[in-house]
Amino acid sequence: MKLKIAYSPCPNDTFVFDAWAHGRVPGAPRLDVTFADIDLTNGWAERGDAPYDVLKVSYAVLPWILDEYALLPCGGALGRGCGPLVLTREAGGPADLAGKTVAVPSERSTAYLLFRLWAADSVPGGVGEVVVLPFHEIMPAVRDGKVDAGLVIHEARFTYRNYGLHALADMGEHWEHTTGLPIPLGAIVARRSLGDDTLRLLAESARASVRMAWDDPSVSRPYVLEHAQEMDPKVADQHIGLYVNEFTADLGETGYAAVRGLLTRAAAEGLVPPLGPDALAFP
């Protein structure tokens, strides 16, 4: 029996899961892998309408799904200096976004929560319309004037200048400056119905997979580049270096503090439901 898992084709995910997906992690359950954009996986988890045992989702969606899914303490993406950016065609400041149309990758994404928290502090009167676009369509939409600004994630941090765009603000800088905590981006969750023993095995398997990738990065390289959407190999390496770190192997006390801090602040702004005291507990 294979466990059904869905994660993105982005280099950090394929790097983390390469060993496990290809059967090289001793004792790990076999995986049936589906690649999907984070907006899809967030929706699947929230609606509970897709047959996936394990999903890569945004930390922002956790308050809606933790009754059914448990947060694994490893395999996800947290970090410093890796926050989403707000991009515009012309250089400017936060006030320039007042009443303007902004494209975002998902209204259930961590990027969107960070953006809303930043805008509440920085944009007088708030932004105007928010439209959801797949993240690879956001920079062209800003460049072509279809939207006034775009909230971008992943490798766009390294490529936005190729579109002639300007970074108006860094959501991660705002988060780190105001909290001192790393930025919680993507989480790995698994169905609670699998049982505590299987959940612990999944966490051990994810942790082993990322450590195997670190031990010999060349082994995962073909898998990473195969799914990297024609990304330059140097950009793929930068992407992995930014999003795969000690928090990927183990959230630890600081990682959990960052997740709870984000969701507590977002709940205070009415953006997400409040978390219960044991909502993030792992068996």
SS3 content of the chain, % helix, strand, coil (to 5): 50, 15, 35
Distance between CA atoms of 240 and 218, rounded to whole angstroms? 13
Which of 22, 154, 174, 177 is the catalytic position? Answer: 154
Is 111 annotated as contributing to ligand binding? yes
Is 169 annotated as contributing to ligand binding? no
Is 56 annotated as contributing to ligand binding? yes
Distance between CA atoms of 103 and 14, rounded to whole angstroms? 26
Measured in degrees and rounded to the nearest 5, phi and psi for residue 70 equal: -105, 140
Q: How many CA atoms lie within 13 A of 175 on its CB side?
A: 31
Catalytic residue status for 154 = yes
Using the structure block, give the residue that is written with the tokens 């049982």. Answer: 195
Distance between CA atoms of 24 and 223, rounded to whole angstroms? 14
Q: Is the dihedral of CA 20, 283, 73, 265 positive or negative?
A: positive
Instruction: For residue 187, give both structure tokens.
Output: 């989480």
Is 235 annotated as contributing to ligand binding? no
The DSSP line for 19-82 is HHHTT-STTPPPEEEEE--HHHHHHHHHHT-S--SEEEEEGGGHHHHTTTEEEPSSSSEEESS-
Inter-CA distances, 211 with 13, 24, 68, 141, Å: 13, 12, 28, 38
Segment (H or E) for 7: strand 3-7
Q: Which residues are catalytic?
A: 154
Q: Which residues are annotated as a binding site for substrate?
A: 56-58, 110-111
